[in-house]
Amino acid sequence: MTTRRDWLKAISLALGVVLAGTAFAPAQAAEKVSVFAAASLKNALDAINGEWLKQTGKEAIVSYAASSALAKQIEQGAPADVFISADLAWMDYLADKKLIKADTRSNLLGNRIVLVSGKSDAPAVEIEPGLDLAGLLGDGRLAMGAVDSVPAGKYGKAALEKLGLWPNVAGKVAGAESVRAALLLVSRGEAPYGIVYRTDAAADANVKVVGTFPEDSHPPIIYPVAITADSRNADAAAYLEFVRSPEAAALFQAEGFTVLE
């Protein structure tokens, strides 16, 4: 017959097991830093995140897309800790809505836009007023990021307008959801030419740079970075500091970016 004393002993033993298990349970893993970054940053930022993991044992998870799409996602409540845009406009968009921590914002990188072809024998061209870009395209399309939202597309359209080339090619543009999507159209031979960042061209062996747009033909290409207003991740500030470090700068430069002071 089970006595009250037996029950109390059993309960005590069970409670001891539970408490022991709690005492020796491993601490909850640190929350990963969530980064929303312009698609053109993928190669460089993947390398930087590898170094961050190696040095700290902590992970950064990156969502790459057009800056416009990422800014809209943050506006809708997506859980991002850090945002790196490919232009000032989309960072300003979030700043105006108080969705970034203003005191963490800085201008991180610069870039150039180039004309690329998927043909290894495509001749080099001087990108200037009078260039017969429509003639180069023939019946093909000019791959670009969407010119009303994707930063690379906006820079490209601005340059074509400044050089007087836009009216002849506007109807031939194949707008893509991101600059990397535009690059892919050229890389796969689906478009004979495209306008992408210099760093994108360097990341794809199937495309060739045939011309570089004059820097004064479009607004300065600037990549700003900031921590989002809703971030509560204790590692976000340390991650941002690492992205701004000399070590990260070397990795950005290796991919063709200009590091801004």
User: For residues 111, 116, 121 and 124, what is the CA-based torsion angle, rounded to 10 degrees?
Assistant: -60
Domain containing 90: what range? Answer: 33-110+221-259
Burial of 13 (0-12, 13-18, 19+ CB in 10 A): exposed
pLDDT over 90 for what percent of the chain? Answer: 87
Regarding whether 159 and 76 lie in a shared domain, the answer is no
Does 85 share its domain with 98? Answer: yes
pLDDT at 28 over 80: no
Q: What is the DSSP letter of 25?
A: S
Per the structure, how many domains does the chain have? 2
* Residue with tokens 């063709």, as numbered in its chain: 256
pLDDT of residue 31: 85
In whole angstroms, give the CA distance from residue 107 to residue 109.
Answer: 6
If DSSP codes are grouped into helix, strand and coil, which group holds residue 110?
A: strand
pTM for the predicted model, two decimal places: 0.84
- What confidence category does residue 30 fall into, taking pLDDT thresholds of 50, 70 and 90? low
Kindly report, residue by residue over 170-210, the tens digit of the pLDDT: 999 999 999 999 999 999 999 999 999 999 999 999 999 99
Residue 63 lies in a domain: yes
The answer to whether 170 and 142 have CB atoms below 8 angstroms apart is no
pLDDT 10s digits, 55-67: 999 999 999 999 9
User: 154 with 66, same domain?
Assistant: no
Mean pLDDT of the chain: 90
Instruction: Kindly state whether residues 104 and 228 are assigned to the same domain.
Output: yes
84 domain-assigned: yes
Domain boundary at 212, 231, 251, which? Answer: 212
Q: Which residue has the tokens 């050089």?
A: 163
**Cα(65)–Cα(70) distance, integer angstroms:** 6
